Chain A
Amino acid sequence: MGKIKKLLPGGIWFLDPPKDISLDGYRIDKVIQYTDFVITLYFAIVVIALVFFIWRYNSRKNPKASYDHGNQKKHLIMTVAMGLLVFFSIDVVIETMSFKDLKEAFWNFPKGKDVVRIEVMPQQYAWNFRYAGEDELFGTDDDIVPSQNIMHIPVNTPIVIQLTTYDVIHSFYLPNFRIKQDATPGMVTAMWFQAMETGQYEIACAELCGNSHFKMKGYLTVESEEDFDSWLGSLEPEGTKDELDDWGAEEVEGVPEFWAWAWKELK
């Protein structure tokens, strides 16, 4: 597949996707590249057949069509074989690749000490982030809440995020990591990723959320462990701020948590 990649920038899609800076993004690119390859192959077969038929069997060259219902056993075997060929050469392969990737990476949430946990709560039209602080518990006084739309993560460290939303459905979209995850009211969803390169990247909302959906943009800074720690240290913990923040004031009994919830155990 690598050779095909080199012929054209972006493969059959002409334009390159955003630079992949994640640990597992290559897996998605690989599935896409394999699919590119097989669908180009099959579509080429169809087009070649079409062109050949147009050239060979047009009414001038072939005034008399053959009388053939295509209903004999050999035809049936041929068509079914064709269907199975497509199924095994495309579907089974991409399914195997995809299942493997899900099992090894996307649905295999990292556990352990060095994981950075972040709670993400989008609202119309901004992103809120919450870091647990020193006690590693959410909803405590030492939680750190940076300004809206600002997210920092350390490089080469697994990041696990949990999301829910303040109002309508949003979708946390990281083009440079090839992933997105919906944030739906009333439920907490999760995803994880790991950056391999430092730099400034963008966060977008992928699910229509109202008239300013298009500028619901966040800024992701990937930096070294030390820079990250000093950034985090420079922020004031939430508990030391004077008043309750906007959301806390509105909390009503019976309303599910949508901010500073206790970290959900992952299956």
Chain B
Amino acid sequence: MHSESFWRKDIFSTDHKTIGKQFLFFGIFFLLFGGFQAMLLRWQLAYPGQPVPWWLMGFLYEGTGGIIDPDGFNRLFTMHGTIMIFWAITPILIGAFGNFLIPLQIGARDMAFPTLNMISFWTFFLSGVVLLLSHFLPAGSASGGWTSYPPLSLPGGGIPGLGQAFWTLSVTLMGAATMMGAINYIITVIRLRAPGMTYWRMPLSVWGLWLTSILNAIFVPVIAAGLIMLLLDQLLGTQFFVAGRLAAGGGGDPLLFQHVFWIFGHPEVYILILPVWGIVSDLLAIYSRKPAFGYKVTSICMSTIVVLSSIVWGHHMYTTGMSPLLGKAFMFLTLLISIPSSIFFFNWLGTLWRGSLHFDPPMLYTMSVIWVFGLGGLTGLYNATVTSDIYLHDTMFVVGHFHYTLAASVLFGGFAAIAHWFPRMFGRMLNPLMSKIHFWGTFITLNLVFFNMMVVGYAGQHRRIYNPSEYEFLQPLADMNVFITYAALVLGLFQILYLFNFVWSLVKGKVAETNPWRATTLEWTMDYPIPHGNFGEIPQVYHGPHEYSNPNTDQDWAPQTVEIKSS
């Protein structure tokens, strides 16, 4: 391989593996940032108006006497949501693993458009910088919630300064970066599969990432249109989303933004979770030493959900006064999703059934996805039903529910993926003992936090309130709120352990063998470090990705590049 300068090799690299790692580090940085904000939020909810202690960096709030003020609280949850969704989950799952896995698993030398891939990362980086800069604006960052509903997010809504405009701009930039990535992933899968790698032989991780990209390519432009209109409203004074008294002469329609936002927003939920579904389906097979149960059915179910996800956005808007007919239609369509979901969920259990389960750290993380996604998926039923949603909408119940589906499932999926592919990315193993301690600590505390969020939500606590003790009906929940906060703080402590484990293993971890997990897919066929261009010779693929325990092979796994001769 020809040698490249540091800048070409590590910074403006077009190598998908390097870009994947860049996305990973970028995402982990924002994950910590957003996680820290969550701790501050929890502090305020448990001890409203009490000074932030030094160990939570109370000095950040020196200007307000160590106290988080209501504006600061609104900024915190706005930024926490925005960062976690767009700058933590998206880069880790889609950016890092999309980039790293797709070419390696389908047997390609790189992405279809390597330069576009590099531009995509740096646009993403720029969007992150814009978002971070908005924290230093004199009037502070955005505080209109991650949904940024107008007219609150417009100048007439009472949020001072340019924070909202910076928010809109950075999310738009992020959308552009995602778009470039999506085009790349879609085309790479269509065009660059190795000989013999048919669609039905792709690992389910690639299926998940590919479907995600398709959703991205179709729906990111929708939110882009909405955000451009929002930005014009914010900066030029157009009135697309203004109505009522704030509009000078007619105005537009605030509800329209909600429609546009959720037409994108609901698919976005699946955009975030689909890669995890794919990765979980693959890892369960690897660590059970058994083919994935109902491979085709699983991928068909995921595709069905992709289609359904685009026509159910109305369930986010039951309380806006939508017409009864629409409400019923959206409820019916939303509930339809439970059929494909439960089918592939059943397939996951089918994979474990009569397998030979190896409880390595990636498997622990993976199996916990079954738990948290099971809970998250089932609690979605309350929000899909119009009547129970009338009560639970905009309460902490919804917050707990989507933290189960998004935060918990996606994080555990991400932890599983990092633990599993760490040897491929960095040539070393993630320390298993520390991983296991981190797993149990995270699993227990995370459930205590998110389940109890649903509990207080069911007991009536609405979301995004600075001080629950304002209300008499929320006073019985004070103890529970304190409890959640301590659980969350412990959860945060375990993430520090994780970070330590990550860095320590990066430098001093056990050097990995080429294929430590005895996996069959193509990315394990070459020695570390994987060269630019990945494969010496593009491999020929003979069978699907899950040939484990095939009676016709000597060992319990057969790489996709090895032909199985039936005896």
Judged by CB atoms under 8 Å, the answer to whether A and B touch is yes
- Contact A82 B346, beta carbon cutoff 8 Å: yes
Task: Let me know if B349 is at the binding interface, CB within 8 A.
Answer: yes
Smallest CB gap from A27: residue in B: B387
**Contact digits for B149-169, partner A, Cβ 8 Å, 1 yes 0 no:** 101100011110000000000
Q: How far is the CB of B143 from chain A (nearest CB, A)?
A: 7
Q: How far is the CB of A253 from chain B (nearest CB, A)?
A: 8
Q: How far is the CB of A119 from chain B (nearest CB, A)?
A: 14
- Contact B246 A86, beta carbon cutoff 8 Å: no
- Contact B254 A208, beta carbon cutoff 8 Å: no
- Contact A173 B244, beta carbon cutoff 8 Å: no
Q: Which residues of B contact A97 (CB under 8 A)?
A: 387
The stretch that binds A, out of B372-380, B423-431, B498-506, B530-538, is B372-380
Task: Let me know if A143 is at the binding interface, CB within 8 A.
Answer: no
Task: Let me know if A231 is at the binding interface, CB within 8 A.
Answer: no
- Contact A39 B458, beta carbon cutoff 8 Å: no
Residues of B in contact with A, size category: 35 or more
Task: Let me know if A235 is at the binding interface, CB within 8 A.
Answer: no
Task: Let me know if A7 is at the binding interface, CB within 8 A.
Answer: no
Q: Which residues of A contact B143 (CB under 8 A)?
A: 211
- Contact B358 A43, beta carbon cutoff 8 Å: no
A208 to B290, CA, bound (A): 49
Q: How far is the CB of B528 from chain A (nearest CB, A)?
A: 26
Q: Which residues of A contact B324 (CB under 8 A)?
A: 102, 107
A181 to B390, CA, bound (A): 8
Q: Which residues of A contact B220 (CB under 8 A)?
A: none
Task: Let me know if B480 is at the binding interface, CB within 8 A.
Answer: yes
Q: Which residues of A contact B248 (CB under 8 A)?
A: 252, 255
Q: Which residues of A contact B477 (CB under 8 A)?
A: 15
Q: How far is the CB of B249 from chain A (nearest CB, A)?
A: 5
A58 to B157, CA, bound (A): 58
The stretch that binds A, out of B94-102, B272-280, B433-441, B461-469, is B461-469
A86 to B312, CA, bound (A): 19
**Contact digits for A246-262, partner B, Cβ 8 Å, 1 yes 0 no:** 01001010111010000
Q: How far is the CB of A195 from chain B (nearest CB, A)?
A: 15
**Contact digits for A80-121, partner B, Cβ 8 Å, 1 yes 0 no:** 101110110011001101110110001100000000000000
Q: Which residues of B contact A176 (CB under 8 A)?
A: 473
A178 to B460, CA, bound (A): 9
Contact A67-B74, Cβ < 8 Å, known A50-B370, A79-B346? no
Q: How far is the CB of A151 from chain B (nearest CB, A)?
A: 16
Q: Which residues of B contact A75 (CB under 8 A)?
A: 293-294, 350
A215 to B467, CA, bound (A): 8
Contact A10-B459, Cβ < 8 Å, known A65-B549, A65-B556, A186-B244? yes
- Contact B390 A180, beta carbon cutoff 8 Å: yes
Smallest CB gap from B395: residue in A: A206
- Contact B342 A13, beta carbon cutoff 8 Å: no
Contact A46-B254, Cβ < 8 Å, known A79-B347, A94-B385, A169-B151? no
| B351-381 CB contacts (< 8 Å) to partner A | 351-359, 367, 370-371, 374-375, 378-379, 381
- Contact A95 B339, beta carbon cutoff 8 Å: no
A32 to B392, CA, bound (A): 10
Smallest CB gap from B294: residue in A: A70
| A140-190 CB contacts (< 8 Å) to partner B | 164-169, 171, 173, 175-176, 178-182, 184-187, 189-190
Total interface residues on A, CB under 8 Å, equals 98
- Contact B296 A79, beta carbon cutoff 8 Å: no
- Contact B321 A190, beta carbon cutoff 8 Å: yes
Across the interface, B374 reaches (CB within 8 A) one of A43, A207, A211, namely A43
A189 to B254, CA, bound (A): 14
- Contact A35 B349, beta carbon cutoff 8 Å: no
The stretch that binds A, out of B9-17, B24-32, B328-336, B486-494, is B328-336
Contact A90-B455, Cβ < 8 Å, known A82-B342, A189-B321? no
Contact A65-B149, Cβ < 8 Å, known A15-B456, A54-B357, A202-B472? no
A254 to B251, CA, bound (A): 10
Q: How far is the CB of B348 from chain A (nearest CB, A)?
A: 9
| A31-57 CB contacts (< 8 Å) to partner B | 31-32, 35, 39, 42-43, 46-47, 49-50, 53-54, 57
Q: How far is the CB of B524 from chain A (nearest CB, A)?
A: 19
- Contact A87 B473, beta carbon cutoff 8 Å: no
Across the interface, B244 reaches (CB within 8 A) one of A14, A78, A83, A165, namely A165
Q: How far is the CB of B200 from chain A (nearest CB, A)?
A: 11
Q: Which residues of A contact B455 (CB under 8 A)?
A: 10, 13-15
A204 to B465, CA, bound (A): 10
Q: Which residues of B contact A90 (CB under 8 A)?
A: 338, 381
Q: Which residues of A contact B157 (CB under 8 A)?
A: 167-168, 210
Across the interface, B465 reaches (CB within 8 A) one of A42, A54, A167, A213, namely A213
Contact A18-B156, Cβ < 8 Å, known A35-B388, A46-B374, A107-B324? no
- Contact A186 B353, beta carbon cutoff 8 Å: no
- Contact A79 B353, beta carbon cutoff 8 Å: no
- Contact A32 B242, beta carbon cutoff 8 Å: no
Task: List 20 A-B residue pairs with CB atoms under 8 Å apart, sorted by A's residue number.
Answer: A13-B454, A17-B460, A18-B460, A28-B391, A31-B385, A32-B392, A43-B374, A54-B367, A87-B338, A87-B342, A98-B388, A101-B387, A167-B158, A168-B158, A178-B391, A180-B390, A184-B320, A185-B151, A213-B70, A252-B249
- A sample of 15 more A-B contacts (CB under 8 A), given A15-B455, A86-B342, A212-B70, is A28-B388, A32-B391, A65-B548, A67-B290, A68-B293, A69-B293, A94-B385, A166-B244, A168-B156, A173-B462, A185-B246, A202-B471, A202-B472, A211-B70, A213-B74
- Residues of B at under 8 Å CB distance from A? 69-71, 74, 143-145, 149, 151-152, 156-159, 242-251, 253-255, 288-297, 319-321, 324, 327-328, 331-332, 335-336, 338-340, 342-343, 345-347, 349-359, 367, 370-371, 374-375, 378-379, 381-382, 385-388, 390-395, 454-456, 458-460, 462, 464-468, 470-473, 476-477, 480, 546, 548-551, 556
